[in-house]
Copies of this chain bind each other. A is one copy, B any other.
């Protein structure tokens, strides 16, 4: 496929077109993904997730600058519609992010579309594959992290960075419980604000509790807690060091392959589901589906009984 070859050879225009093609998810998209898939598996996929207001976009921006200074190429996938990378947020933020726009070693893609849930997870995963195959060494995936979809997307990364900030209110603090379970690296951003030390201590308590629950295994990764002021870059190189250390840990412990398998299994199930439904709907026909919708809406039958009837009791 010519478009795939050009994109893999580094043609940015072809890369952008290929990604758009893949987002559309047609027959051509699948052929393209089949062609580029053998070239994947090299990139370190890093999820950066946190509630709105934690400054995670700024952290992604600064991490990218440090990586570029080291000569590492970076792909950025912004799943968050409020991200400056997606054209969300205020103009000032967007201008700040534009530092990276002229750099050929960086490719930024926004997934701000509001499609269906399964659709967003699939498209994100496929766009990561394209950037991986195109040779970007690190792919940063920015997600809001306050919703289950975003947590699921973050879970597919090799390394998940959870960003917190002091003073976002009690509710945000409580969100940590869910996010902490998937965190490999914890960052308290805006560390110059009042309450930063307290936020870090609260995180440490939860980590300690988890560690006790997990037992005293020397081989288990314990999420480090780092403080940053992403706005001026303070602490960002240290975050990168820990991200790299986590990659080494994954490789040495065999967890890298384990995470790959888990990601693949989730993806296989999702694609199977979507394909099965598409084939069924093609067979049953839109008219029949609408007739069932009417019957369920009228409370003549419940959805589970309807599904059994549509599928037959095989």
A120–B269 Cα distance when bound, in Å, is 17
- Chain B residues near A95: list those with CB within 8 A: none
Stretch at the interface among A64-72, A147-155, A233-241: A147-155
A120–B120 Cα distance when bound, in Å, is 17
Contact string against B for A residues 292-312, beta-carbon threshold 8 Å, 1 for contact and 0 otherwise: 111011010111111110110
Given contacts A148-B150, A169-B52, contact A276 B280 (CB under 8 A): yes
Given contacts A37-B302, A82-B171, A302-B37, contact A293 B276 (CB under 8 A): no
Whether the Cβ atoms of A172 and B53 lie closer than 8 Å is: yes
A244 CB–B CB distance under 8 Å: no
A90 CB–B CB distance under 8 Å: yes
Interface of chain A residues 166 through 222 with chain B (CB within 8 A): 168-175, 177-178, 181
Whether the Cβ atoms of B147 and A148 lie closer than 8 Å is: yes
A98 CB–B CB distance under 8 Å: no
Whether the Cβ atoms of B89 and A174 lie closer than 8 Å is: yes
A interface residues, how many (CB within 8 angstroms): 79
Given contacts A51-B51, A52-B51, A261-B294, contact A275 B149 (CB under 8 A): no
Given contacts A82-B174, A148-B149, A177-B88, contact A304 B51 (CB under 8 A): no
Whether the Cβ atoms of B268 and A90 lie closer than 8 Å is: no
A69–B173 Cα distance when bound, in Å, is 33
A28–B114 Cα distance when bound, in Å, is 35
Min Cβ gap A79→B in Å is 9
Whether the Cβ atoms of B311 and A289 lie closer than 8 Å is: no
A242 CB–B CB distance under 8 Å: no
Partner of A175, one of B30, B57, B81, B181: B81
Min Cβ gap A30→B in Å is 4
Rank and list the top 8 A-B pairs by shortest CB-CB distance, nearest first: A147-B147, A37-B302, A53-B169, A146-B146, A88-B174, A82-B174, A276-B276, A52-B171
Ordered by A's residue number, 12 sampled pairs between the chains whose C-beta atoms are within 8 Å are A33-B304, A34-B304, A41-B299, A52-B175, A82-B172, A88-B171, A89-B170, A117-B149, A272-B280, A273-B274, A276-B276, A279-B311
Kindly list 10 other residue pairs between chains A and B, CB separation below 8 angstroms, not including A33-B304, A264-B303, A269-B277.
A37-B303, A38-B299, A93-B170, A114-B181, A257-B297, A261-B297, A264-B296, A267-B303, A276-B276, A279-B311
